[in-house]
Amino acid sequence: MKRRLLALVLTLSFIAAGVLSGCGSQTKKLVVGASVAPHAEILKQVVDVLKEKGIELEIKEFTDYVQPNLALQDKSLDANYFQHLPYLEDFNSKNKTDLVSAGNIHYEPFGLYPGKIKSLDAIPDGATIAVPNDTTNEARALLLLETAGLIKVKPDAGLNATVKDITENPKNIQIKELEAAQISRALPDVDLAVINGNYAIEAGFNVATDALAKENADSVAAQTFANIIAVRKGDENREDIKALIEALHSDKVQKFIEEKYKGSVVAIF
């Protein structure tokens, strides 16, 4: 009798172990590439929420604007979170990739930050201002300089504006085109610099308090340059991607963004 009972207990134990093993095997890994700040920090807020839905979120951090898209295209990533749609569309055009937006998450106002000079009134003739050298972000930087009253750009140039589209430059400002990730480190060597939101945050700046000029959070730019979750075309309908977007579009994430970034990052959902 004892042997039969022992055998029954062992059998039930094996069955239970198999069931638990089967449950564990249902967990799906979702690998998302992201800039260190604020993107990876925001993603970390939904790790537990996704875990409850059987999704293990793995976050891979990147420090540039090229590798995350290449890694997504070659399927090393399931999604990435670091860019806005105009940048993605420009990247697709230049690199023959086929990536799309799965949803808007937040907006980072561009800021014009002090380098050698500390106020717009003190800008000397021939001042040097650093701007991002990629197509869409350079245009955005030039439009911000126009808003600040420093230059004028051809009205029809829009998001394709380059230094060739500057029509008025009364202070003979020298535009120094640099890779976006390098600009904050170049501040000591230039008079002013337009810095992307995520790199400004990484450098310890807050656009609301440190910038001499900034994009308005309620401007058209807020929608045009909303940072997105990017995926390969067709993957925007995957259930795990939809779950990621739903988790990010939550009151918890909105509150985190408001309290953590204090205006340098604005939720767009």
> Domain holding 133: CATH number?
3.40.190.10
CA atoms of 130 and 50, how far apart (whole Å): 40
pLDDT tens column, 16-48: 444 444 444 588 999 999 999 999 999 999 999
Residue 262 gets the label, from left (phi > 0), alpha (psi -120 to 50) or beta, of left
Say if residue 95 is in the same domain as residue 151: no
- pLDDT at position 57: 98
- pLDDT at position 220: 66
- pLDDT at position 267: 94
* pTM score of the predicted model: 0.77
Say if residue 115 is in the same domain as residue 100: no
DSSP assignment, residue 233? T
Helix residue ranges, H only, the chain: 2-24, 41-43, 47-52, 67-73, 85-95, 135-147, 183-186, 197-202, 207-210, 220-224, 239-248, 251-261
- pLDDT at position 16: 45
Say if residue 137 is in the same domain as residue 94: no
**Residue ranges for the chain with pLDDT beneath 50:** 1-2, 5-24
Look at residue 206 and tell me if it is in a domain.
yes
Look at residue 18 and tell me if it is in a domain.
no
Say if residue 100 is in the same domain as residue 117: no
CA atoms of 47 and 256, how far apart (whole Å): 14
Look at residue 70 and tell me if it is in a domain.
yes
Look at residue 4 and tell me if it is in a domain.
no
Look at residue 99 and tell me if it is in a domain.
yes
88: containing domain: 29-108+224-267
Between the CA of residue 74 and those of 43, 68, 165, 173, what are the distances in Å? Answer: 22, 10, 36, 41
Look at residue 162 and tell me if it is in a domain.
yes
Torsion of CA 43, 48, 54, 58, to 10 degrees: 40
Look at residue 13 and tell me if it is in a domain.
no
- pLDDT at position 6: 43
- pLDDT at position 257: 97
Look at residue 14 and tell me if it is in a domain.
no
- pLDDT at position 119: 95
- pLDDT at position 218: 66
Give how many domains the chain has, as a whole number: 2
